[in-house]
Structure 1
Amino acid sequence: MHFSTLAGSFAALVAIANGALVSVPNWGTSTTNPTGIAMSIWVPTKLATKPAIILALHGCLSSGASYAQQAKYGPLADTHGFIVIYPSSSHDNNCWDVASTKSLTRDGEGDSHGLANMLKYTIDKYDADPKKIFVTGSSSGGMMTNVMAAIYPDVVTAGSVYSGVAAGCLAGSPGSSPITADPACANGQHIKTSAQWVAQVKAMYPGYNGTYPKMQTWHGTADTLVLYANLGEQIKEWTGLLGGAAGPLAWTKNVTSSPQAQYTQMIYGDGTLFQAYSAVGVGHTVPVHETVDLAWFGLT
């Protein structure tokens, strides 16, 4: 047998062994998926027992399939045995709704409600671990990551946000896309105290007194679409939510050149609940750092 034949046979075996992104039609009903979110999923052939789930959310003018090329968790899922969901929004320039009362309310029949039910569907179908549910996204997907963690804190275990805004920043805006939204949020003009952000989040899920997910957030200093000031507002929001009755988590230290040159990792508290990354000279959006995310999620 020639080497080329052996190589081709090996490649075929790898293709069979690894997962692939596939569409999941009719995963929900008009009740469980009220805004018609499409679902694609990557399930490795060798699935871990009680696998973790990563919900990876695309930005505007994109789709789940496109984001799978940008946020390459799929091949890592093949190695580590977790599941990746890449959903797709089809409204408002394919942006996620992070502005309407429906989507900023627990089980309010908006996008956030559909995404939460998508997670529940996947947990049930694959006997996944409900304590290992992770959400991440870029731009509009980063905004929705903050919203999901804020409204479904008992579902989401941890999040990683790329170039987003604080949960509630776009509340009341006529839309969530650069074309339809009130520009004040993206322009970094919604400046609030930590206590004000916390109060806004808690109003989205009234009566909830439990803990909130651990979070990390990334932003570029040269972002001209979602301005850098939004990093500071996310920091105030999440340090307040995660600090609880003791008050916001305090800044502890900066780690320069982490995870690479021109990036600064900002540690709050002991660093186990909240971290932020500032990327000097990086625009919109900060490139996805999949291996850092997996470490933050506790999957590696």
Structure 2
Amino acid sequence: MLFKSLVLLAGTAAVTHGAPSPSSANDIPRDVLTQIPSGSWGTNPTNLLLHLYAPSNLTARPSIILALHGCFGSGPSHAEMTQAFQTLSTPHNFLVLYPSSINDNNCWDVASPSSLTRDGGGDSTTLAAIVRWATTAFHADPKKVFITGSSSGCMMSNVMASTYPDLFSAVSCYSGVPAGCLAGSPGSSPISADQTCANGGIRKTGDEWAEVVRGMAPLPEGKGKGKGKGKSNRGWKYPKVQTWHGDNDFFVNYFHNFEEQLKQWGAIHEVEFTRNETNVPAAGYTKMVFGDGTKLVGYSASGVGHVVPQHEVVDLEWFGI
């Protein structure tokens, strides 16, 4: 069962096309998944790879979605699993970034100090560089940059929202754990990691989880301590978050990790649980609304295991594109 889940999560490779080092976004082919040379975006301390999909009718000020694969996967395989994003990019004017981790069984580093620290030189640093490059190259709207991911990709989505809150406006991720849950683990993959986090053994209060988030991105000099919702008394405006998890997931423990994520982001956004909406967005799903539902929601999928199907249309609604 575990092996089957991992294979499904990895998916199958999509057709890709290589590209010469582009001098501008206009040199990047449209309507195909294109590999972008690492020299294009600069900083790449962990040797990540990047594929990109942009529709032929992309216009000025597009949105950007950073889509992160799970362990044993790749950018192209994740593109295959989320093909609806490519179809939807035409009417909604966005491009999709599909990076690939080639380290630790293709898992994202969500454990080391270098990746759990802003500009620390880990995977998070490279992903931030990719987002900044794409935003500049395509003249994208910096207020419309979003992140999504499955399993390890969800874990890294939470980390990126913590280390680079200024880069993203919203998160929608599937089957993950709280940001910082694997801190100190010898690795981030099912093979290398301390399994305490995945098994639901790391429990904290919401305020304790919020402090973990705040500790990942020290304030730049001159940035004062803001007050009010979303700023967490630290000056950063954190992205809104929706997280999905299947209640039959025994690979990444649902009962605790789903709850711990909601506690973490509920504390960051200073919102508490208000209501459930059953059979939303589909039969068997329960939407858990926090506050007025504009900063944090959770989706619990009844009878669903580790691989929760991506709901791209719901993701786009959450992103506002």
Q: Does structure 2 retain, via aligned residues, the 8 Å contact 1:211–1:242?
A: no
List per-residue Cα deviations over 1:62-91 (Å, max 9, x = no partner).
Answer: 100000011221111122120100000000
Query: Paired residue for 2:267, among 237, 240, 256?
Result: 240
List alignment gaps of at least 5 residues for structure 2.
Answer: 1-28, 220-233
1:220 matched residue in structure 2:
246
Query: Paired residue for 1:162, among 168, 174, 191?
Result: 174
Taking the aligned partners of 1:18 and 1:94, their CA distance within structure 2 comes to 27
2:150 matched residue in structure 1:
138
SS in 1 for 2:51: strand
SS in 2 for 1:129: coil
**Equivalent pairs: percent with the same residue?**
53
Taking the aligned partners of 1:28 and 1:242, their CA distance within structure 2 comes to 35
List per-residue Cα deviations over 1:3-59 (Å, max 9, x = no partner).
Answer: xxxxxxxxxxxxxx9711110013457x61110110100011111320000000000
2:286 aligned with 1:260, yes or no? no
List alignment gaps of at least 5 residues for structure 1.
Answer: 1-16, 244-248
Taking the aligned partners of 1:142 and 1:154, their CA distance within structure 2 comes to 18
2:57 matched residue in structure 1:
46
TM superposition shift of 1:252: 1.0
2:224 matched residue in structure 1:
none
Q: Does structure 1 retain, via aligned residues, the 8 Å contact 2:149–2:173?
A: yes
2:49 corresponds to which letter in structure 1?
Answer: A
Taking the aligned partners of 2:204 and 2:88, their CA distance within structure 1 comes to 38
2:238 corresponds to which letter in structure 1?
Answer: Y
Q: Does structure 1 retain, via aligned residues, the 8 Å contact 2:38–2:44?
A: no
List per-residue Cα deviations over 1:249-268 (Å, max 9, x = no partner).
Answer: 11111000000111000000
Query: Paired residue for 2:303, among 264, 281, 293?
Result: 281
Taking the aligned partners of 1:26 and 1:180, their CA distance within structure 2 comes to 27
Q: TM (normalized to structure 1)?
A: 0.90
Q: Does structure 2 retain, via aligned residues, the 8 Å contact 1:20–1:74?
A: no
Q: Does structure 2 retain, via aligned residues, the 8 Å contact 1:48–1:80?
A: no
Taking the aligned partners of 2:126 and 2:46, their CA distance within structure 1 comes to 7
Q: Which has the larger radius of gyration?
A: 1
Greater shift after overlay, 204-213 or 109-118?
A: 204-213
- In the TM superposition, 1:73-152 aligns within 5 A as 73-152=85-164
Taking the aligned partners of 2:32 and 2:176, their CA distance within structure 1 comes to 28
1:66 matched residue in structure 2:
77
Query: Paired residue for 1:210, among 217, 236, 243?
Result: 236
Taking the aligned partners of 2:184 and 2:242, their CA distance within structure 1 comes to 26
Alignment CA distance shift 1:27-1:53 (3 Å): farther
Q: Does structure 1 retain, via aligned residues, the 8 Å contact 2:30–2:53?
A: no
Q: Does structure 1 retain, via aligned residues, the 8 Å contact 2:64–2:97?
A: yes
Greater shift after overlay, 20-29 or 141-150?
A: 20-29
Taking the aligned partners of 2:129 and 2:76, their CA distance within structure 1 comes to 20
2:37 aligned with 1:25, yes or no? yes
How many residues align? The count is 277
1:167 corresponds to which letter in structure 2?
Answer: A
2:272 matched residue in structure 1:
250
2:65 aligned with 1:57, yes or no? no
SS in 2 for 1:217: strand
2:183 matched residue in structure 1:
171
Q: Does structure 2 retain, via aligned residues, the 8 Å contact 1:59–1:137?
A: yes
Q: TM (normalized to structure 2)?
A: 0.84
SS in 1 for 2:43: coil
TM superposition shift of 1:114: 0.2
Taking the aligned partners of 1:91 and 1:78, their CA distance within structure 2 comes to 33
SS in 1 for 2:299: strand
What's the C-alpha RMSD, in Å, of the aligned pairs?
A: 1.3
Q: Does structure 2 retain, via aligned residues, the 8 Å contact 1:18–1:78?
A: no
2:252 aligned with 1:230, yes or no? no
Greater shift after overlay, 182-191 or 76-85?
A: 76-85
Taking the aligned partners of 1:77 and 1:126, their CA distance within structure 2 comes to 14
